[in-house]
Chains A and B, each alone.
Chain A
Amino acid sequence: MTTANSDTKFKLREKVDKIVNLFLGFSILIAFATLLALVFDILNDGWKWFDWQFINSYPSRKPEIAGIKAALFGTMWVMSITALLSIPIGVCTALYLEMFADDTRFNRFIKLNISNLAGVPSIIYGIIGMAVFVEFFQMGRVILAGSLTMTLLILPIIIIASQEAIKQVPSYYLDAALALGSTKWQAVVKVIIPQAIPGIVSGFILAMSRAIGESAPMIAISALVYITFLPEGPLDRFTVMPIQIYNWISQPQDDFRGIAAAGIILLLIMLLSLNSFAIFLRDYFQKRN
């Protein structure tokens, strides 16, 4: 009797095991299906609007002639200045924290502080950027204010990624350089940094692709503007692609949904190329080393 009982139990457990396995696989399928549905939805809505006319035109009240040119250039302006500002600041901070900072209470506080900054919602950076750059420093709602805000937003990501990259460099590299008589600074500049570059670069590109897609903080800086000119310098007013896309989404006409989807296609293409570039760079550096 007991054997029969344990036999059925055994079979039951085998069944449950299979069901659990199926359920887990099913959950992953949902995630995968969502991704497919998302891509399909966007291509389906936006493909017929996605042409050169769309990329090369300014926004308009008429969907047939509306385009994303001003926002595309705005995005490029904001991103370039953000990159110029955030790379040196981010890498220097990471270098200091990993290579030169003693394990004092204050330095530990800086590290903890950076990891907390990484968790601050982006809209908070937006309103702080508005208070500091737009209002306090009287810059107005210009590209530079947007770039500075974006820099603050992605700095924690860049710092943490660079710290990880620097940590990955085996400690005997430093020891060997020091043993050959180099100073710590020389060792860091000539040995550690070249070794850490692949990690730093991929962290940086990850941060940039996050920044390109950020809408909320840019809305706080730039507000909803109707821009039909190309910005010529960092002190011009601007709009960026996610704001323009949001603007089109919130229009009531169906055609503008299509235009929004076309904008999303362009945004996703840019993100995809950025990420492929990151992978390419990583491979290139890995081969070189």
Chain B
Amino acid sequence: MEYTEYTKSRRQKEKFAVLILRSISLLSVLTTIAILFFLSFETFNFFTTEMEDGRFVKPWDFLFGTKWTPLFKPQSFGILPLVAGTLLVTVIAVTVAIVLGLSTAVFLSEYAPENVRRVIKPILEVLAGIPTVVYGYFALTFVTPILMNLSDVFGFSMIIFNALSAGLVMGIMITPMVSTISEDALISVPQHLRDASYAMGAKKFQTAFRVVVPAALSGIAASLVLGISRAIGETMIVTVAAGSTPNFTFNPLESIQAMTAFIVQISLGEAPHGSLEYSTIFAVGLVLFIMTLSLNIIGKWLVSKYSENY
């Protein structure tokens, strides 16, 4: 009798404990709600707060305007220069990451013997763990001077703060991520496909690039999409090395301003709550959030696609 009483009270206690766990896990949902609410709320404020000349920013002008001068008169809030700056750096970074990340992945999964893998993997992990402000420093004090010398030799005019340097270093930064996800995809290609290819007399490079890589294509695509998303959201490299001039340009030798760098620029000055400046960073943040979220969803869908296949 006593025993059942004991179990009963214990059961109740445990039910209560699980309830607590459940409520704690709801915190993540709350975070998402907070992100969505404050981004939309402040973006709404952005469109309903007067500019210095008394006009309001129109959504159309914000999304498709090509002049971004929030801090000068006349104020203009066309986000395209920031988007172009972000995309320019991203394209350079992804090009680097495709070459370095994919070769690393193919090398690790198809070529490297176990002991070589054991050397390369930690190097990639170290690269992945370096803080982005350190990469920014490296871009500005090491890569940029080299590029400046090169551009002198070849007769290009180049600005100290430029998209190229930031993009190249950002490419190094996302390489570990791209190579890890691609390698997972390559490794999960069944061995019998490779065996069949070798049985047909194919060489290693033919097997790797005509059989294994195509079979893992959705995973490789996923690694690139997720890499792009990471590059778009990256902040410190572009803030330190790419400049703070919102140019609507696709010339990598010029100074630009990325979306994230703009948010940092305003944050540094402690924009007063309720001002147009303050709500501007949320409007830019919302655009950034939508871009990265959709890329992440596509990336995850691609990953699930290759895990389904094998």
Q: Is A21's CB under 8 angstroms from B205's CB?
A: yes
Residues of A within 8 A of B208 (CB): 20
Q: Mark B89-115, 1 if CB is under 8 A from A, else 0.
A: 000000000011001101100010000
Docked Cα-Cα span, A124 to B236, in Å, equals: 13
A contact residues, total (Cβ < 8 Å): 82
Q: Is B285's CB under 8 angstroms from A123's CB?
A: yes
Q: Is A93's CB under 8 angstroms from B28's CB?
A: yes
Q: Is A215's CB under 8 angstroms from B235's CB?
A: yes
Q: Given A27-B99, A135-B273, A250-B240, does the pair A120, B292 have CB atoms closer than 8 Å?
A: yes
Residues of B within 8 A of A115 (CB): 300
Docked Cα-Cα span, A249 to B17, in Å, equals: 49
Q: A225's closest neighbor in chain B, by CB? A: B270
Q: How far is the CB of B240 from chain A (nearest CB, A)?
A: 6
Q: Is A184's CB under 8 angstroms from B264's CB?
A: no
Residues of B within 8 A of A275 (CB): 129
Q: Is B137's CB under 8 angstroms from A96's CB?
A: no
Q: Is A209's CB under 8 angstroms from B267's CB?
A: no
Question: Quick check: is B257 within 8 A (CB to CB) of the other chain?
Answer: no
Q: Given A31-B172, A122-B233, does the pair A264, B134 have CB atoms closer than 8 Å?
A: yes
Q: Is B141's CB under 8 angstroms from A132's CB?
A: no
Main secondary structure of the interface of B (DSSP, over half): helix
Question: Quick check: is A194 within 8 A (CB to CB) of the other chain?
Answer: no
Docked Cα-Cα span, A127 to B34, in Å, equals: 11
Q: Is A31's CB under 8 angstroms from B123's CB?
A: yes
Question: Quick check: is A25 within 8 A (CB to CB) of the other chain?
Answer: yes
Q: Is A96's CB under 8 angstroms from B18's CB?
A: yes
Q: Mark B101-141, 1 if CB is under 8 A from A, else 0.
A: 00110110001000000001001101101111111111011
Q: Is B24's CB under 8 angstroms from A93's CB?
A: yes
Q: Mark A residues whose CB is within 8 Å of B.
A: 13-14, 16-17, 20-21, 23-25, 27-28, 30-32, 34-35, 37-38, 41-42, 45, 88-89, 92-93, 95-97, 100-101, 109-110, 113-117, 119-124, 126-128, 130-132, 135, 141, 152, 155-156, 159, 183-185, 209-210, 212-216, 219-220, 223-224, 242, 245-246, 249-250, 257, 260-261, 264, 267-268, 271, 275
